[in-house]
């Protein structure tokens, strides 16, 4: 969610490679997410690189791994993933980017000279400071270090020998997703300013695809079905009795792509081979080109154990809210369900850096909006006592000026996931 074994050869979406004889002139980008996150951390960065730098999809690759798992497995997977990207693109080296725990993983990876030889630039994003730059000699790779003094999860600082940029006002997640970071990364790699954006007109088509993974583990939901439904102008009822597209998730977790209108509402239905159906909604497709659909992992995993308490109850709905670009911080951001604010100091203090909210009733069929203490030990994730009766009505989720209407369905039929920019 900011959410989660390794996918060895496939990045986001549907790969497009340059025409034969016309190799892309820049190194592929391999980006590594942080704790409890997934590769869609990098969707804003990748969207900008694709739109403004004409990067093909094959050159924009997110490494999905289990941040709750064995680091040795994750490191071996990262090396295999980079080898796969180099083999597919014909490139000699990649630009490696690591956020938070992904930065620590990248530092360890680059302790090996054989790994350093595969990397042209390294970008350390919202991750822990060090006494020296990456590589066994400490100065072998050009390195950019991005951090924010307002990141209350990781205390960043200048790293001797690196190019350092302090980005004030950004929370821990924003350091990876914000336009300022993209501008700094582009300038570092290309030694020129980021090209201007070309705004898209409302009603234009967006090529949407992505992955279907288990939350927390990031294991591919191989064989799951994905249905894409167009909803009416108010975002409520389905606009027809047939989905606009249906896909079977492959062994790497990939689904899509499908061209969708960026000014319409859609519903994405993920039906795993086993486990709960998840209905995903988002008020914006623009900037959400790589869309991750998350399933509930089995209770045998750490993430699955945490989520095993989510109700499966015909008398209440269960909803998860996921912030795709920045945390919700009380006093800075607005987030509300049916007009009730969730951006309070209790639920969204700056040090919590709340990115995901699970909403469900604690059993008394009333809403106290109190946090569930079972989630209190984790950063980024909150669970809140909100009673949403599945009475056929819709409830409204608002994030700043964005909004989406979500049907209140019985949680024994599935749960709803709302992705907000």
Single pTM value for the model: 0.92
Token pair belonging to 304: 């699955």
Residue 203 CB: number of other CB atoms within 10 A? 9
Please say whether the dihedral angle defined by the alpha carbons of residues 176, 178, 180 and 185, taken in this order, is positive or negative. positive
Indicate the CATH number for domain 205-420: 2.60.40.2200
Q: How far apart are CA 246 and CA 143, in angstroms?
A: 43
Q: Provide the pLDDT for residue 15.
A: 39
Give the per-residue pLDDT at 10: 31
Give the containing element (helix H, strand E) for 105: helix 101-109
**What is the pLDDT, as a whole number, of residue 8?**
27
- Residues with Cβ within 8 Å of 179's Cβ and at least 6 positions away in sequence, in order, are 44, 48
CATH code assigned to 29-190: 3.40.50.1820
Listed by start position, the domains of the chain span 29-190, 205-420
Write down the residue that tokens 């940029």 correspond to.
165
Q: What is the pLDDT of residue 84?
A: 98
- DSSP string covering 288-327, please? --EEEEEEPPPTTSHHHHHHTTS---TT---EEEEESSS-
Nearest to 222 by CA among 288, 274, 169: 274
**How many residues can be counted in the chain?**
421
E-strand stretches of 20-157? 29-32, 60-63, 94-99, 119-125, 143-147
User: What value does the CA radius of gyration of the chain take, rounded to a whole number of Å?
Assistant: 21
What is the pLDDT tens value at each position of the chain, 421 positions in all? 333 323 222 333 333 444 545 679 999 999 999 999 999 999 999 999 998 999 999 999 999 999 999 999 999 999 999 999 999 999 999 999 999 999 999 999 999 999 999 999 999 999 999 999 998 876 679 999 999 999 999 999 999 999 999 999 999 999 999 999 999 999 999 999 999 987 766 667 888 999 999 998 999 999 999 999 999 988 888 999 999 999 999 999 999 999 999 888 999 999 998 889 999 999 877 655 689 999 998 888 778 888 888 999 999 999 999 999 999 999 999 999 999 999 999 999 998 899 999 999 999 999 999 999 888 777 899 999 999 999 888 999 999 988 999 999 999 999 999 999 8
* Alpha-carbon gap, residue 348 to 333, rounded angstroms: 9
Whole-angstrom Cα distance, residue 68 to residue 313? Answer: 29
Q: At what angle do helices 179-190 and 43-53 cross, to 10 degrees?
A: 50
Tokens of 64: 């999905």
pLDDT score for 203: 66
Long-range Cβ contact pairs of 102-107 (< 8 A, separation 24 or more): 102/31, 102/32, 102/33, 102/34, 102/37, 102/63, 102/127, 103/32, 103/34, 103/127, 103/128, 104/128, 105/32, 105/65, 105/71, 105/74, 105/75, 105/78, 106/32, 106/78, 106/134, 107/134
CA gap 395, 336 in Å, rounded: 10
């Amino acid at each position: 969610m900011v959410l989660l074994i390794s996918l060895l050869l496939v990045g986001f979406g549907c790969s497009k490679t340059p025409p034969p004889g016309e190799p892309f002139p820049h190194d592929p980008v391999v980006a590594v997410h942080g704790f409890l996150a997934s590769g869609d951390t990098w969707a804003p960065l990748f969207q900008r690189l694709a739109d403004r730098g004409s990067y093909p999809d094959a050159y924009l690759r997110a490494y999905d791994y289990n941040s709750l798992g064995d680091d040795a497995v994750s490191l071996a997977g990262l090396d295999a993933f980079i080898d796969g990207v180099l083999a597919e693109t014909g490139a000699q080296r990649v630009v490696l980017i690591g956020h938070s725990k992904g930065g620590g993983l990248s530092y360890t990876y680059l302790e090996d000279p054989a790994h350093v030889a595969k990397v042209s630039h390294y970008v350390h994003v919202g991750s822990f400071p060090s006494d020296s730059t990456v590589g066994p000699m400490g100065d072998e790779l050009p390195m950019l270090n991005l951090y924010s003094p307002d990141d209350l999860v990781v205390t960043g600082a200048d790293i001797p020998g690196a190019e350092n940029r302090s980005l004030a006002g950004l929370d821990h997640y924003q350091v990876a997703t914000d336009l300022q970071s993209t501008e700094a990364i582009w300038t570092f790699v290309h030694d020129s300013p980021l090209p201007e954006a070309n705004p898209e007109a409302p009603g234009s088509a967006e090529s949407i695809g992505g992955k279907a993974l288990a939350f927390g583990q990031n294991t591919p939901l191989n064989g799951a079905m994905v249905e894409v439904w167009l909803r009416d102008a108010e975002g409520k009822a389905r606009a027809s009795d047939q989905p606009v597209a249906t896909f079977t998730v492959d062994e790497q977790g990939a689904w899509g792509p499908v061209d969708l209108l960026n000014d319409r509402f859609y519903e994405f239905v993920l039906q795993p081979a086993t486990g709960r159906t998840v209905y995903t909604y988002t008020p914006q497709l623009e900037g959400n080109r790589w869309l991750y659909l998350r399933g509930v992992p089995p209770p045998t995993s750490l993430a699955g154990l945490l989520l095993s308490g989510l109700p499966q109850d015909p008398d209440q709905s269960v909803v998860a809210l996921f912030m795709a670009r920045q945390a919700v911080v009380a006093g800075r951001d607005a987030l509300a369900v049916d007009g009730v604010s969730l951006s309070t100091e209790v639920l969204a203090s700056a040090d919590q850096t709340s990115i995901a909210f699970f909403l469900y009733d604690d059993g008394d069929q009333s809403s106290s909006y109190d946090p569930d203490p079972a989630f209190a030990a984790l950063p980024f994730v909150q669970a809140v006592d909100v009673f949403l009766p599945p009475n056929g009505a819709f409830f409204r989720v608002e994030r700043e000026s964005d909004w989406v209407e979500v049907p209140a369905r019985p949680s024994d039929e599935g749960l709803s996931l709302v992705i907000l920019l």
